Amino acid sequence: MKVLAISGSLRKGSYNTRLLEAAEEVIGDRADIESFDIGNLPHYHGDRDGETKPQAVQELLDAIASADGLLIATPEYNYSLPGVLKNAIDWASRPAYKSVLKGKPTAILSASISATGGVRAQVHLRDILAGTLTPVLHAPDFLVPTAQDKFDETGKLTDEATQKLLQRRMNDFLEWIAKSKS
């Protein structure tokens, strides 16, 4: 099984990127995890969205197409998801209703220094993915509030309760992908 991990944060030391690394650790050898850096994508531009895509865009499309599932971790910026993540989805969502996102099992995580943990970004992301026909794992939001207290200085997730929840969520996600493949 292959899972494509996408962090909506480009920041070095991002808690969302660290959360994806923790997810990869709990998944272990049950799936291959590939991370994709969306920071190299050009801004979506319909005139550039033809037969030949910009190289970074084609790499994104190929990575999504070859994955059995998507794991997206998003911070919350101004009550929503970051523009860079929305841009990646805009590129991947074409052609409408026939894109590489259509039917791709997806799980959403978020980590934030705030007490709300990115809940509003998750709501917006689920709404956007609904418009691309991308199914999202039906489960309560996976939020890591006050993330600065849950990771150590090396970036390792150290909060036991969060580790247990992440293990359970990744188990559910992998089971769902396996069922969707059969």
DSSP per-residue letters across 28-61? GGGSEEEEE-GGGPPPP-GGG-SSSPPHHHHHHH
- Whether the pLDDT of residue 94 is over 90: the answer is yes
Is the pTM here over 0.95, yes or no?
yes
Domain 2-181 CATH assignment equals 3.40.50.360: yes
Number of alpha helices (DSSP H) and beta strands (DSSP E) in the chain:
5, 5
Whether the predicted pLDDT of 139 surpasses 90: yes
For residue 182, the model assigns a pLDDT of 85
What is the distance between the alpha carbons of residues 47 and 101, in angstroms, rounded to a whole number? 21
**Cα 139 to chain center, whole Å?**
15
Spatial neighbors of 181 by CB under 8 A, at least 6 apart, are 1, 68
pLDDT level of residue 122 (50, 70, 90 thresholds): very high
Task: Over range 83-104, report the average pLDDT.
Answer: 97
Report whether pLDDT(110) > 90: yes
Domain extent listing, the chain = 2-181
- Say if residues 82 and 16 touch (Cβ distance below 8 Å): no
Summary mean pLDDT of the chain: 97
Q: Give residue-wise pLDDT tens across range 31-78.
A: 999 999 999 999 999 999 999 999 999 999 999 999 999 999 999 999
In eight-state DSSP terms, residue 157 is: B
Q: What is the mean pLDDT of residues 103-110?
A: 98
